[in-house]
Amino acid sequence: MKETNKTVIMHGACDYFLYRFENFLKKVYPDSKILFYVDNDVNKQRKKTHTGYDVYSVDKIKEYPDALILIITDALGAVAKQYEELGIKNTAYSFPIFLHHGFDDGWNPAEASKIILENKDRIKNAYDNDEKTQAVIDMYIKTSLDYERFYTLDEFGNTLDMLGMYFANLDYTPKNEGFTFIDGGAYDGDTLRHIYARFGNKLKKYYAFEPDLNNLEKLRKTVKDLGLEDVVDVMPYALGEKEEEIKFKSTGTMASHVAEDGDIVTKIVGIDDLNLEIIGDVLVRMDIKGFELATLKGAKNLIQKHKPYLDIVVHEKPEDLFILPEYIREIYPNPKIRIGCAYHTEMYVEAK
């Protein structure tokens, strides 16, 4: 993004990203001026963001053909297609938020980039050599070399079509006996809704781990609304290697996490210690704010016995990009390990 004095239209009025992208824009391109936001959600249109900007429908962009667009949604593939259908030809940029998650309030981008570049060969060797996986790894390396700028949509290359998808590489097909799903970080049941809509009654057992008290209420409502009380076991715990108590910040959002200044005390449990009833195949999902390695260690017996399909978020710490797949190769019999960029950077593991 070389045009430092251009007017900018922001696409995506997501509260979670507003401050991040606005602050990053001011830091890197201080002379740029934000005109307004656009969003496809009609409930956000004709209102203001909490940063004070008006929000319109995407059609509004047509009135400003010379303005730059900064896309702050992760659904870049869908946005690119929408622009093509609407005839919008403005220059559009984004930042690979799925890569450097929380780049101004999560990990330190300079330190993360240093770790990624120092271990780029280790990262490449940790995964199977398929086209999509290597495209994501190449994007990590590219953005680590130059992380203080925005990228055109063309620069996202083969990763663009994956963005905005949920379980971008989940090509699992249930067998006749169905499957068991273990959800680490069940939130309000968003993954449960997706899995049930996709697989229906093939879902035989679902273990939903969620320590946030506010999210638990939403999760239980989702289970009831779907009529899955006999299928879903709501587990009010955090996942880890072994049982212990720890302080937890219960925010009622996706940002809930373990913290020294947490407002509640919650229990951490290891999957192997629970003797879960398993029906059919096993799928395990982990989005647990840096506790992925500990949870893998606490599920070693289950992994070796059932060889589950694993979907694990790997963007919380840059070291996770190589430490997690390396550990999986130690405990998982002959795994196929890939990486994809959906809503987050996710690692997919299955038996060959």
Name the range with the highest mean pLDDT among 160-169, 317-326, 338-347: 317-326
Residue of 225 and 2 predicted with greater confidence = 225
Q: Are residues 23 and 117 in the same domain?
A: yes
Tell me the per-residue pLDDT of 126-185, one tens digit each, with 9 for 90 and over.
Answer: 999 888 888 888 888 888 888 778 889 888 887 777 665 556 556 677 777 899 999 999
Per-residue model confidence as pLDDT tens digits over 293-305 = 999 999 999 999 9
Q: Which of 56, 123, 33, 14 is nearest to 343 (CA)?
A: 14
pLDDT in tens, 72-119: 887 888 899 999 999 999 999 987 655 554 444 455 677 888 888 999
Whether 66 and 153 share a structural domain: yes
| Mean pLDDT on 223-250 | 91
Residues 52 and 151 in one domain: yes
Residue spans of alpha helices (H) in 127-237: 131-145, 190-199, 213-226
Domain holding 296: CATH number? 3.40.50.150
* Count of structural domains, the chain: 2
Kindly report the pTM of this predicted structure.
0.85
Same domain, 22 and 141: yes
Round to whole Å and give the CA distance between 199 and 225: 17
Residues 25 and 85 in one domain: yes
pLDDT for the residue numbered 104: 42
According to the model, what pLDDT value does residue 257 have? 59
Q: Interior CA angle at 262 toward 293 and 236, to 5°?
A: 65
Please report the pLDDT score of residue 186 as a whole number.
93
Question: Same domain for 118 and 229?
Answer: no
Residues 153 and 189 in one domain: no
| pLDDT tens digits along 174-219 | 777 899 999 999 999 999 999 999 999 999 999 999 998 889 999 9
Provide the residue range defining the domain that includes 209: 179-313
Q: Is residue 247 part of a domain?
A: yes
* Burial (0-12, 13-18, 19+ Cβ within 10 Å), 249: middle
**Beta-bridge mates of residue 336:** 350
Within a domain: 283: yes
CA distance linking residue 305 with residue 210, whole number of Å:
25
Longest dimension (CA), the chain: 61
Q: Are residues 247 and 150 in the same domain?
A: no
Query: CATH number, domain at 108?
Result: 3.40.50
In Å, how far are 4, 149, 285 from 29, measured between CA atoms?
5, 9, 38
Residues 155 and 184 in one domain: no
Give domain status of residue 332, yes or no. no
Residues 228 and 150 in one domain: no
> In this predicted structure, what is the pLDDT of residue 5?
52
DSSP state of 157: G
